[in-house]
Amino acid sequence: MYPWLWRHLPGGVTSKLACTILLALAAAALLWLVVFPWLTPHLPLDQVMPR
């Protein structure tokens, strides 16, 4: 997966590295802003109310 990604990123090492960091940040942002807020209420974490 990662070697394939590295081969397909454009330019030299600097450009590839910059793209990698950008992609990683985009993936992290997607997780942090969309996936995690959606996921948290579905997990049986820290349940405080009697039921």
- Chain residues that interact with another protein, rule: CB under 8 A: 1-2, 28, 31-32, 36, 39-41, 44-51
Closest contact distance (angstroms) between CB of 31 and another protein is 6
Comparison of 6 and 18: residue with beta carbon closer to another protein: 6
The Cα-based distances of 45 to 9, 12, 35, 40, 48 in angstroms read 39, 45, 16, 8, 9
The Cα-based distances of 42 to 13, 27, 33, 36, 45 in angstroms read 41, 21, 16, 10, 8
Closest contact distance (angstroms) between CB of 43 and another protein is 9
Closest contact distance (angstroms) between CB of 24 and another protein is 9
